[in-house]
């Protein structure tokens, strides 16, 4: 990380001392709605949070290793690449499952501890990819500490759908998912771990995460269940065969199953501009959650299992079923054109506004929604404010007060990892009314959300700042921001009046991930005092 220790406050000075400190995070620190009063500000970053002293730490919360049945690398392999490609934090998330619950969840830990020592400037969290009962997969991770393995292991053995056989979309299995989130919240309350977070992975891929399940997870414990992947990993998956996998971008190439939510349109099973339908659709599922005035954040990550054009192969003599891991990879000599993943940090980044260079600060930043994401190094930095309130925050003013949005973008000034300088073409402002709790828990549209302003970006600058008057506050609303290289667009799924030039439905087996770059911010709410 670029911040020297001497610049850290005494409180944050030593990551090690942080790890020893237990229970600093009250699980009641967040609340369910921005309509709340005293606790609302805390839910979005603290009452005194002007966001003025944030360090933006880039990371990836969805990475597999040799402890996953469908992956292959050591922890240090993934970590070294993550650091080389500029990441500050990563989460190791091997698949939950019988072998992992019995062997991998424990055995990966010494590898993670060794990697923390070997790469002291990289934050390496231990987590797992949760097979959510009755739903898709999710990232679950905890703050490092003496109970990190014990909490994850108990969680996996009790609540992982593939361990306990709870896959089908039944009410009992949905309840088990809620119980799992509550377990994590209790683990924090009882100070077994300092913090625990859950983020839904590839949420629209197979239609398994129904709208009411998102609401149920979030409302069960908003200090734990905080969001979803805005963009899935596997962004190389649609590079054409035979040079690439030739599948759907993000390996989104499926169609409904018996367990899919029947209300989702077929378009939801595909990515749009590399992003998941729930995030890419203006006025769609994500906006329907934000319109309730409740936090729900988006992220982006690699989901790295095996790497496009990498030449390593699984270690000879491996027996995953018996051992719970693959032997260390060896050089195979042949570029892997069937792999659909990029190394962590090479393409997808989740930027977290942290108040310190620490595990706790990254988790606090994610929980507070101080998060924006980008693909292909589209931009270098992003600062979105509503009169000083940063991303994820609630700007609370009297009715009638004039409100202004400021978007400052640090444009890319160096080539990305495909060796070209990305050019931001346009920035869009998306605004939605806060309409309160949805009567129908399966609502997945927000009819009062649309793109309200687009700014063209002139080239040849290092930093651009756009100001946009949001008018005098009458009813509560939120804003979020999106930007693109402008190379691929079409009217949004809900029509050109909602999103005239939105992301394009990705082409099966032929989407160049480097010629269709987007960034997305999380929202800021503006609420009458």
Looking at the Cβ atoms of 437 and 508, the one nearer to another protein is: 508
Exposed (0-12), middle (13-18) or buried (19+): which is 326, by Cβ within 10 Å?
buried
State the DSSP string of 55-104: EEEEEEEEE--TTSTT----HHHHHHHHHHTT-SEEEEEEEPSHHIIIII
Looking at the Cβ atoms of 164 and 508, the one nearer to another protein is: 508
Looking at the Cβ atoms of 256 and 500, the one nearer to another protein is: 256
User: Residue for token digits 């944050």?
Assistant: 12
Pairing of strands 225-231, 394-397: unpaired
Looking at the Cβ atoms of 195 and 505, the one nearer to another protein is: 505
Q: How far is CA 144 from CA 31, 112, 172, 222, 360, in A?
A: 24, 10, 32, 20, 9
Coil, helix or strand at residue 226:
strand
Neighbouring residues of 344: CB distance < 8 A, sequence distance ≥ 6: 60, 63, 78, 81, 82, 85, 87, 90, 301, 302, 304
Q: Are the beta carbons of 352 and 362 closer than 8 angstroms?
A: yes
CB of 234 to another protein, least distance (A): 7
CB of 305 to another protein, least distance (A): 6
* CA 503 and chain centroid, separation: 19
**Nearest 5°: CA angle at 496, between 492 and 498?**
75
Neighbouring residues of 394: CB distance < 8 A, sequence distance ≥ 6: 34, 40, 41, 43, 44, 524, 525, 526, 527
Looking at the Cβ atoms of 234 and 395, the one nearer to another protein is: 234
Nearest to 144 by CA among 195, 89, 90, 181: 195
* CA 56 and chain centroid, separation: 15
Looking at the Cβ atoms of 252 and 359, the one nearer to another protein is: 252
CB of 42 to another protein, least distance (A): 36
Looking at the Cβ atoms of 81 and 305, the one nearer to another protein is: 305
Backbone φ, ψ for residue 433 (5° rounding) = -75, 140
Looking at the Cβ atoms of 223 and 247, the one nearer to another protein is: 247
CB of 88 to another protein, least distance (A): 25
CA torsion 41-152-234-58 (nearest 10°) is 40
Which residues of the shown chain bind another protein in the complex (CB under 8 A)?
Answer: 69-70, 95, 97, 131, 162, 167-170, 206, 234, 240, 246-247, 251, 253-260, 262, 266-267, 269-270, 272, 303, 305, 490, 493, 504-505, 507-510
Looking at the Cβ atoms of 247 and 443, the one nearer to another protein is: 247
CB of 5 to another protein, least distance (A): 38
CB of 168 to another protein, least distance (A): 6
Nearest to 488 by CA among 509, 504, 507, 512: 504
When computed from its CA atoms, the radius of gyration of the chain, rounded to whole angstroms, is 21
CB of 61 to another protein, least distance (A): 15
Looking at the Cβ atoms of 473 and 494, the one nearer to another protein is: 494
CB of 516 to another protein, least distance (A): 13
Nearest to 375 by CA among 236, 485, 519, 270: 519
CB of 373 to another protein, least distance (A): 20
CB of 131 to another protein, least distance (A): 7
CB of 503 to another protein, least distance (A): 10
Exposed (0-12), middle (13-18) or buried (19+): which is 322, by Cβ within 10 Å?
exposed
State the DSSP string of 182-211: HHHHHHHHTTSSS-EEEEE-STTTTS-S-H
CB of 62 to another protein, least distance (A): 10
Looking at the Cβ atoms of 406 and 490, the one nearer to another protein is: 490
Looking at the Cβ atoms of 174 and 287, the one nearer to another protein is: 174
């Amino acid at each position: 990380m670029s911040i020297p220790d001497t610049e850290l406050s005494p409180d944050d000075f030593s990551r090690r001392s942080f790890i020893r400190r237990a229970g600093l995070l009250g699980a009641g620190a967040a609340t369910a709605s921005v309509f709340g009063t005293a606790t609302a500000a805390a839910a979005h970053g603290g009452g005194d949070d002007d966001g003025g002293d944030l360090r933006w730490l880039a990371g990836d919360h969805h990475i597999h290793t040799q402890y996953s049945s469908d992956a292959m690398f050591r922890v240090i392999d993934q970590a070294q690449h993550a650091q080389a490609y500029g990441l500050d934090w990563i989460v190791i998330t091997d698949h939950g499952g019988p072998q992992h619950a019995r062997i991998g969840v424990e055995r990966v830990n010494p590898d993670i501890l060794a990697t923390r020592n070997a790469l002291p400037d990289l934050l390496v969290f231990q987590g797992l990819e949760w097979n959510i009962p009755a739903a898709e997969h999710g990232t679950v991770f905890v703050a490092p500490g003496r109970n990190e393995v014990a909490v994850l292991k108990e969680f996996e053995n009790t609540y992982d759908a593939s361990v306990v056989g709870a896959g089908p979309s039944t009410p009992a299995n949905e309840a088990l998912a809620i119980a799992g989130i509550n377990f994590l919240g209790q683990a924090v309350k009882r100070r077994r771990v300092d913090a625990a977070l859950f983020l839904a992975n590839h949420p629209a891929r197979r239609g398994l995460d129904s709208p009411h399940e998102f609401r149920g997870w979030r409302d069960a414990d908003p200090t734990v269940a905080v969001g979803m992947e805005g963009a899935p990993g596997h962004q190389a998956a649609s590079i054409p065969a035979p040079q690439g996998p030739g599948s759907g971008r993000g390996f989104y190439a499926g169609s409904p199953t018996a367990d899919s939510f029947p209300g989702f349109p077929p378009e939801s099973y595909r990515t749009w501009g590399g992003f998941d339908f729930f995030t890419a659709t203006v006025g769609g599922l994500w906006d329907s959650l934000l319109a309730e005035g409740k936090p729900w954040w988006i992220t982006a990550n690699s989901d790295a299992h095996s790497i496009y054009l990498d030449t390593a192969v699984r270690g000879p003599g491996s027996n995953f079923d018996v051992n719970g891991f693959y032997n260390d990879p060896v050089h195979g000599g042949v570029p892997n054109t069937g792999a659909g993943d990029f190394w962590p940090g090479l393409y997808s980044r989740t930027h977290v506004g942290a108040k310190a260079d620490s595990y706790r600060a990254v988790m606090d930043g994610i929980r507070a929604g101080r998060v924006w994401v980008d693909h292909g190094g589209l931009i270098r930095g992003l600062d979105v404010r509503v009169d000083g309130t940063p991303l994820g925050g609630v700007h609370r003013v009297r009715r009638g007060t004039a409100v202004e949005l400021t978007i400052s973008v640090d444009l890319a000034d160096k080539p990305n990892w495909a060796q070209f300088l990305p050019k931001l073409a346009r920035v869009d402002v998306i605004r939605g009314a806060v309409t309160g709790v949805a009567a129908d828990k399966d609502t997945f549209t927000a009819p009062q959300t649309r793109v309200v302003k687009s700014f063209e970006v002139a080239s040849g600058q290092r930093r651009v700042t756009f100001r946009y008057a949001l008018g005098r506050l009458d009813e509560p609303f939120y804003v979020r921001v999106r930007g693109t290289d402008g190379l691929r667009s079409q009217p949004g799924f809900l029509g050109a009046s909602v999103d005239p030039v939105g992301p394009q439905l990705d082409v099966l087996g032929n989407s160049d991930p480097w010629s269709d770059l987007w960034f997305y911010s999380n929202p800021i709410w503006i609420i009458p005092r």
